[in-house]
Chain A
């Protein structure tokens, strides 16, 4: 049953893609909605049947279709509890995005919805792939739908954005692919046969490959993932541009799921495959995270464009997520995963909110637009709500991940009391913690401009607002000043109401219907995160098994790389045998990894 469901999870969006292309374009949005809802229900069914919630293993184990047996490539699917949470999040958001796009897209709707369904299939593939080639195929295939979604439905600068998005992330993933192939080639040399099974490769790399090899493999793997997750300092610049230009639903999916492909890659491949590299480079990546957090936060603070602000806030927030991941202890990694899910929902919701005002005013410029509480109280309620969730207000979902990530980083000291020594520590957390203050500053600045204050509407687009209380009392308003005659005013209103897509001043039932499930989720997770924490824990424990002893060794010796004086320098030349010198005095990680692998049953 479970294998069937895992195939269905990918087949339904694919079938929906084909169906949309074949059906008349008036049906496109309905097929997409039904298709994504069906995917969501299948995902729920998959989660319902999922046997590995509490033991951190991958399931199903038998969903494998051999493709190229001689090369060890097969279509094999299966995921653990963390991957399943990401699947659920993606499948949950997709119908909301589709419903949210009903009026936003008026031209070439068929392609629009078809590309989204294809994108969903590709993303879900990544989250449930057990084969490196399948993983990589899905990972890269997400670029194509996203490229077209930006290039066709984007803003004024869409060509540059789409090309930059494609080339930048593609360039990174090529390096990731080369890393994977290098591991596979080493596996072939050692074992005489090919395999692209992810667990096999990561186990092989982590236990059999030398320290310098793991070091470089980690760099190669991270090259792609770091670009994708966009929270490390110099490789984030594509994200704000792309968010700025992407259509609303594209931004939602980009923030919620596409960026998580990167963090999922780190979690699924980079950290398990190359623990030595992970430990060795831990501080560098953490510093890049922290620089990314502060850099993006300060940039947010001087933004005028609401969507860009949220895009940069995404960079800053995911910096916390990755900082939690790189703290390499149970608290930080658990927090990191909570952050992945919750960031997807609250930031996704914020992008939806911004999209809703963009549909009405055709601007996101906070200098032109502001004080919308007066015009759109319901929208403002949701905007404030999701901003607070994003701000990390306790009681809403964002807090849990943020707090645990920061705590994980804080407690990642060499002499840890929690059983997971780390190489970060309080100073990293204190500097990163400044990001929380800055986060309050820029998000409240955004609320202060966009929601509160005197009403300001752009002159050209004000009549999209529908309700025409005139704004003579507001000096900032450039609309129909008090001099205009009432009759003329009224006629303008009517004609514009007819010619435009009849969106009311405030949100309509469809839009409220999209935001309410998200808000309910935010509140529910904020007050009862226990189920999620419970299912994350075993998976995290599996990931972290080799780390404590490696970190302890790193702390004791200052590096895990072989030094010239103990002859380990040869390790980089004689690959597979090199591990003997390195792991001679670090038996525990080997043992733990082996036992975990046995418990996985592969």
Chain B
């Protein structure tokens, strides 16, 4: 039944979207102003690059102090300040005009085409600064600075060992992320895209002694490569169709196409235009860990926690959202593209939330929660609410970074323990108060508790889904509401388990065994720096609470997570325009057809939530979603606060029943997606590789090449007996030869005759 609804919905989505006037898309994007006087904006990229170089120098000089961390922190703060001043410069009054800042030529060349439409390929190192860029850069550099400060303390056990490598990686990451966001064309975005992948590879594999970390790093890079390939092909197609990959020119070309038969290639085929958004989507889903390319993100939790917070929660994984928001006009041109984005986002949200409910490792819960929340963002993009998606990116960056940093603080102080069955009542442990309460703030925001930041951003998305009169979107909206309940459940499951109840903790013994063995080698403890607390046996384990840098950053980000709702407060109570909304609608991410359509429909009374009796669709969504969320919190409270045994009993009951067995197993085993990929993709490739290896050595080289080389030898062997020196042999050979020649002559004679 669900399928039939979905298919009907897709059809209607096609109809409704295609009826929208595409001219509205393009005319809203104003051409950018070339602003060479803003070249100092390049410093945003120069500071992290310089920090990376200095970290390398520190590594070469074998610096053993916190200097690399300090250098990176200062560089990132400088980058943040530069971004802020860029924002203030560009933001003149109410609107922000897009600007392009040409730094230098990168891959640019031209040719003398005979009859071609396009005679050059231009990918200069140009920055494209509009309000969307600024929004992203502000939280990327801001959170980047804060998390770096946190990491200077978190990583302190590794001073002189991996410290330099860690901060070098962070600097490379910030450089790449800055290029991704600021870059003025898609190839520059691609540079940043793979650059952040590299930083992720280096930092996930930070504990290189641990094979699981190495494997996770590799997996992250390779899965992303699949997405990158899609992005690359998308870039090819965009160039083929529009002759440019620079945003500014591209948007103008789009405007021309929609208004008149303008500068697009006359002979580009229809399919090549239609495929663009799907290829870009592939890239976005790879980087943002959406189904079917989501498998790398949970494994990436092998990296140190600040990395998980910065790269795998707050910034890098939102690059996919940025890509789609940036190229939104291209998506709006294809009627099916946005519904597909919405469906995949919604499905990923549901899938990941269901896995997150059953995980015991709190970092993994957070990882699946990230996939799930990213799913919301894609749902937002898909239903035409780029504002909702970007706003959710913004709030999520704060509260998810906060949640990860809290996990890190717990891990740091608790001997690497992350299993929520082995941690309890941390609220009462000395030194963990700040962590517990900031964790609560994070959980409240994540679960979308009324009037928290997550509440506003999530409800913007769900409301946009319901505001459509499209059955598909309304269906997705219901799924999103259910997912919101699941989100609230798993978020508070963590908090109730870890922070409430009786005090109980033990260090991760497995993680402790490793450093003692490694200490003899005098090397870095492999399981985060927390392990260097190693040597504590379980019985005399003393947790140590985080100190100033960690607590300070936790508090700042917690305040940030609360204040992320400020634009909505101001919009709601002071009737100002939502700051984020104006940022998004100023940019290319403005939803032309989509948002105008849903605004029109927002007035309709016959909406899907009419049973609530509230006429305003957004309010109705908020009420329903909050109610479901609070229900989730109540269930979590029942199972994990007041009645913990019940959770185990429920699990056993489900497992013992043959009909329901699959559910907990599938959820705990991530729906076996990894296993399926292993069997369907990896094993065949591995087998083919071995077959080809064999055939290369034995068939092609051994048989064909060497066989050919042996032909002279064998030919010689055939004739060798003839030259044995025996006269009768020569005589018979001669006779045979004469007979052959005679036969040949006779045959020719016959032919001629």
A-to-B contact residues, CB < 8 Å: 164, 167-168, 234, 237-238, 240-241, 295, 298-299, 301-303, 330-331, 334, 371, 373-374, 377-378, 381, 388, 393-395, 399-400, 403-404, 406-407, 410-411, 415-420, 426, 429-430, 433-434, 436-438, 440-441, 444-445, 448, 451-454, 469-474, 482, 527-530, 533-534, 536-537, 540-541, 548-549, 588
A-facing mask of B85-121, CB < 8 A → 1, else 0? 0000000000000000000111111111111111101
Partner of B696, one of A299, A377, A416, A472: A299
B269 at the interface (CB under 8 A from A): yes
In Å, the complex CA distance between A240 and B686 comes to 20
In Å, the complex CA distance between A541 and B370 comes to 50
Query: Is there an interface contact between A374 and B108, defined as CB atoms closer than 8 Å?
Result: no
B251 at the interface (CB under 8 A from A): no
Q: Which chain A residue has the least Cβ–Cβ distance from B202?
A: A384
B547 at the interface (CB under 8 A from A): no
Q: If A395-B191, A437-B225, A453-B211 touch, does A400 touch B107 (CB 8 Å cutoff)?
A: yes
In Å, the complex CA distance between A434 and B209 comes to 30
Q: If A395-B191, A472-B521 touch, does A452 touch B109 (CB 8 Å cutoff)?
A: no
Query: Is there an interface contact between B106 and A530, defined as CB atoms closer than 8 Å?
Result: yes
Q: Which of A167, A377, A536 has the most CB of B within 10 A?
A: A377
Query: Is there an interface contact between A417 and B521, defined as CB atoms closer than 8 Å?
Result: no
B286 to chain A, nearest CB (A): 11
Partner of A299, one of B198, B218, B692: B692
Query: Is there an interface contact between B191 and A417, defined as CB atoms closer than 8 Å?
Result: no
Interface residues in B245-281 by Cβ distance below 8 A to A read 265-269, 272
Which residues on the B side are within 8 Å of A482 (C-beta)?
A: 520
Query: Is there an interface contact between B226 and A301, defined as CB atoms closer than 8 Å?
Result: no
Partner of B701, one of A241, A404, A434, A445: A241
In Å, the complex CA distance between A295 and B198 comes to 26
Beyond A237-B701, A406-B232, 13 additional contacts (C-beta under 8 Å) are A237-B696, A238-B701, A298-B688, A302-B689, A373-B208, A417-B118, A418-B116, A419-B112, A429-B233, A438-B685, A453-B209, A528-B105, A529-B106
Query: Is there an interface contact between A419 and B225, defined as CB atoms closer than 8 Å?
Result: no
In Å, the complex CA distance between A43 and B119 comes to 33
Query: Is there an interface contact between B233 and A394, defined as CB atoms closer than 8 Å?
Result: no
A342 to chain B, nearest CB (A): 13
B173 at the interface (CB under 8 A from A): no
In Å, the complex CA distance between A418 and B117 comes to 6
A340 to chain B, nearest CB (A): 16
Query: Is there an interface contact between B118 and A418, defined as CB atoms closer than 8 Å?
Result: yes
B665 to chain A, nearest CB (A): 30
Q: Which chain A residue has the least Cβ–Cβ distance from B205?
A: A452
In Å, the complex CA distance between A453 and B191 comes to 28
Partner of B106, one of A430, A469, A528, A541: A528
Query: Is there an interface contact between A234 and B208, defined as CB atoms closer than 8 Å?
Result: no
Q: If A374-B523, A388-B198, A527-B106 touch, does A540 touch B221 (CB 8 Å cutoff)?
A: no
Main secondary structure of the interface of A (DSSP, over half): helix
A586 to chain B, nearest CB (A): 13
Complex A-B: 9 CB contacts under 8 Å:
A298-B693, A301-B686, A395-B194, A418-B113, A452-B214, A469-B521, A482-B520, A528-B104, A529-B107
A-facing mask of B664-695, CB < 8 A → 1, else 0? 00000000000000000000011011101100
Query: Is there an interface contact between B209 and A394, defined as CB atoms closer than 8 Å?
Result: no
In Å, the complex CA distance between A407 and B690 comes to 30
Q: Which chain A residue has the least Cβ–Cβ distance from B265?
A: A417
Which residues on the B side are within 8 Å of A377 (C-beta)?
A: 59
B-to-A contact residues, CB < 8 Å: 59-60, 104-119, 121, 125, 187, 190-191, 193-195, 198, 201, 205, 208-209, 211, 214-215, 217-218, 221-222, 225-226, 228-229, 232-233, 235-236, 239-240, 243, 265-269, 272, 517-518, 520-523, 685-686, 688-690, 692-693, 696-697, 700-701, 704-705, 709
Partner of A537, one of B111, B228, B705: B111
In Å, the complex CA distance between A323 and B104 comes to 29
Partner of B119, one of A303, A419, A426, A445: A419
In Å, the complex CA distance between A433 and B111 comes to 25
Q: Which chain B residue has the least Cβ–Cβ distance from A240?
A: B696
Q: Which chain A residue has the least Cβ–Cβ distance from B708?
A: A171
Which residues on the A side are within 8 Å of B269 (C-beta)?
A: 415
Which residues on the B side are within 8 Å of A399 (C-beta)?
A: 191, 194
Partner of A430, one of B116, B233, B686, B709: B233
Which residues on the B side are within 8 Å of A540 (C-beta)?
A: 111
Query: Is there an interface contact between A454 and B686, defined as CB atoms closer than 8 Å?
Result: no
Query: Is there an interface contact between B520 and A410, defined as CB atoms closer than 8 Å?
Result: no
In Å, the complex CA distance between A561 and B220 comes to 50
B257 to chain A, nearest CB (A): 14
Which residues on the A side are within 8 Å of B105 (C-beta)?
A: 528, 530
In Å, the complex CA distance between A371 and B205 comes to 12
Partner of B236, one of A334, A411, A530: A411
Q: If A237-B701, A298-B685, A417-B265 touch, does A454 touch B221 (CB 8 Å cutoff)?
A: no
B718 to chain A, nearest CB (A): 21
Q: Which chain B residue has the least Cβ–Cβ distance from A512?
A: B60
Which residues on the A side are within 8 Å of B116 (C-beta)?
A: 416-420
In Å, the complex CA distance between A131 and B652 comes to 84
Query: Is there an interface contact between B121 and A417, defined as CB atoms closer than 8 Å?
Result: no
Q: If A433-B229, A472-B521 touch, does A530 touch B693 (CB 8 Å cutoff)?
A: no
Query: Is there an interface contact between A238 and B705, defined as CB atoms closer than 8 Å?
Result: yes
Query: Is there an interface contact between A419 and B115, defined as CB atoms closer than 8 Å?
Result: yes
Partner of B191, one of A394, A410, A415, A430: A394
Which residues on the A side are within 8 Å of B266 (C-beta)?
A: 417
In Å, the complex CA distance between A263 and B654 comes to 65
Query: Is there an interface contact between B522 and A448, defined as CB atoms closer than 8 Å?
Result: no
Q: If A234-B700, A534-B109 touch, does A302 touch B221 (CB 8 Å cutoff)?
A: no
Which residues on the B side are within 8 Å of A528 (C-beta)?
A: 104-106
Query: Is there an interface contact between A301 and B521, defined as CB atoms closer than 8 Å?
Result: no
Q: Which chain B residue has the least Cβ–Cβ distance from A417?
A: B265
Which residues on the B side are within 8 Å of A445 (C-beta)?
A: 218
Query: Is there an interface contact between A437 and B229, defined as CB atoms closer than 8 Å?
Result: yes
In Å, the complex CA distance between A454 and B214 comes to 10
B236 to chain A, nearest CB (A): 4
Query: Is there an interface contact between A417 and B218, defined as CB atoms closer than 8 Å?
Result: no
Q: Which of A395, A454, A470, A548 has the most CB of B within 10 A?
A: A395
Which residues on the A side are within 8 Å of B215 (C-beta)?
A: 448
The 8 A-B residue pairs with the shortest CB-CB distance, nearest first, are A419-B113, A419-B116, A330-B111, A237-B701, A394-B191, A417-B265, A452-B208, A298-B689
Query: Is there an interface contact between B692 and A440, defined as CB atoms closer than 8 Å?
Result: no
Q: Which chain A residue has the least Cβ–Cβ distance from B266?
A: A417
A446 to chain B, nearest CB (A): 10
Q: Which of A388, A399, A444, A482 has the most CB of B within 10 A?
A: A444
Query: Is there an interface contact between A448 and B109, defined as CB atoms closer than 8 Å?
Result: no
Query: Is there an interface contact between A453 and B214, defined as CB atoms closer than 8 Å?
Result: yes
Query: Is there an interface contact between B111 and A419, defined as CB atoms closer than 8 Å?
Result: yes
Which residues on the A side are within 8 Å of B272 (C-beta)?
A: 426
Q: Which of B190, B523, B696 has the most CB of A within 10 A?
A: B696
Q: Which chain A residue has the least Cβ–Cβ distance from B113?
A: A419
Partner of B233, one of A238, A419, A433, A472: A433
Which residues on the A side are within 8 Å of B117 (C-beta)?
A: 417-419
B572 to chain A, nearest CB (A): 43
Which residues on the B side are within 8 Å of A374 (C-beta)?
A: 209, 523
Which residues on the A side are within 8 Å of B240 (C-beta)?
A: 410-411, 417
In Å, the complex CA distance between A310 and B2 comes to 51
Which residues on the B side are within 8 Å of A537 (C-beta)?
A: 109-111
Query: Is there an interface contact between B113 and A393, defined as CB atoms closer than 8 Å?
Result: no
In Å, the complex CA distance between A240 and B60 comes to 35
Q: If A302-B690, A430-B233, A528-B104 touch, does A441 touch B222 (CB 8 Å cutoff)?
A: yes
Q: Which chain B residue has the least Cβ–Cβ distance from A407?
A: B236
In Å, the complex CA distance between A567 and B696 comes to 44
Query: Is there an interface contact between B696 and A533, defined as CB atoms closer than 8 Å?
Result: no
Q: Which chain A residue has the least Cβ–Cβ distance from B242?
A: A417
Query: Is there an interface contact between B114 and A548, defined as CB atoms closer than 8 Å?
Result: yes
Query: Is there an interface contact between B226 and A437, defined as CB atoms closer than 8 Å?
Result: yes
In Å, the complex CA distance between A482 and B517 comes to 11
